[in-house]
Chains A and B, each alone.
Chain A
């Protein structure tokens, strides 16, 4: 028998601190597998965010840098401009990218920096204890909106991919999900395209990955997958919003 699936060399042997069933682990693995398949593990530099994935630098088997909250795209810009031949990516959650980091992500796209961003959207702040994020759905409960998010008070959830797709410098924008094996395979393809876009020098690339947060949603991991499919995908439709040909 031949091995058809084993852990990628793109991840270290360290066990993650993520809660049981948190899909961060899946997304880490997809990014690492893509970096391995593109043969850039020795050439890649990742920038970790603030949030649950703040310790991503312990898990990716590549050079990593830590950024202050929301500023990963700015740090990645500096790294890429100093070392244009390296593959540079940021790994950010929605509390990091869609809230305190909106200026950085909009302008990194605006400038068309040749970096790749993996944007993990689980519609809540994870590490800090389940507060409402800009991406929290209407009616969804969080510790700072205990009766559910209301449009009148907090506005509608921010659709980051749609927003960034309006910016000329954003060459590749796609939203994927990891709630079942079919979508996980599609997510990996999108992440690969995003990195290829960077390697070809076509501009800024971002993949938004819909993710679960069983702990702060207060739902069991397997039920969280169903909750994501039933509630997040209708508001955050999956698909490609921009490819280099359109940019």
Chain B
């Protein structure tokens, strides 16, 4: 059981987190934009998250908090 939380409004949509996720569950939310005007990163299938924190490790903007 693990969970990642994105502070969506500070995401710059760079997609680096999508390259680091071993489960490939991070996607860009193309149905919405944040205050900066980017599609923020999000996870749709949270039950697949293993809480490895790779996404948070590569995020340049400290968008992600990981719980496990």
A interface vs B, CB < 8 Å? 1-8, 11, 15-16, 18-26, 29, 178, 180-181, 184-185, 214, 220-222, 225
Contacts and interface: CB of A to CB of B under 8 A. Distances in A.
Contacts of B38: 20
A8 B12 CA distance: 19
Given A18-B60, A20-B38, A4 B68 contact: yes
Given A1-B68, A16-B60, 13 more contacts: A1-B2, A1-B3, A3-B65, A5-B56, A5-B57, A20-B13, A20-B14, A21-B60, A23-B60, A25-B60, A25-B61, A181-B57, A225-B19
B58 interface: yes
Contact of B53 (A2, A4, A180, A222): A4
B56 to A, nearest CB: 4
16 contacts: A1-B67, A2-B68, A4-B51, A5-B66, A7-B62, A11-B62, A16-B60, A19-B12, A20-B14, A20-B38, A21-B12, A21-B14, A21-B15, A21-B60, A180-B19, A222-B14
Q: Which 9 A-B pairs have the closest CB atoms?
A: A25-B60, A21-B14, A20-B12, A5-B66, A20-B14, A1-B67, A7-B62, A5-B53, A181-B54
A89 B51 CA distance: 33
A181 B54 CA distance: 6
Contacts of B62: 7-8, 11, 25, 29
Nearest to B63: A7
Contacts of B13: 20
Interface of B: 1-3, 10, 12-16, 18-20, 38, 51, 53-54, 56-62, 64-68
A24 B20 CA distance: 17
B27 to A, nearest CB: 13
Contact of B10 (A2, A15, A184): A15
Contact of A181 (B15, B20, B65): B20
Given A4-B51, A4-B53, A181 B1 contact: no
B15 A222 contact: yes
Given A1-B2, A2-B68, A221 B61 contact: no
B18 to A, nearest CB: 7
B17 to A, nearest CB: 10
A24 B68 contact: no
A180 B22 CA distance: 12
Interface centre among B18, B38, B62 (most CB of A within 10 A): B62
Given A5-B66, A25-B62, A221 B57 contact: no
B58 A3 contact: no
Contacts of A25: 59-62
A91 B68 CA distance: 33
B50 to A, nearest CB: 11
Contacts of B53: 4-5
Contact of A184 (B51, B58, B61): B58
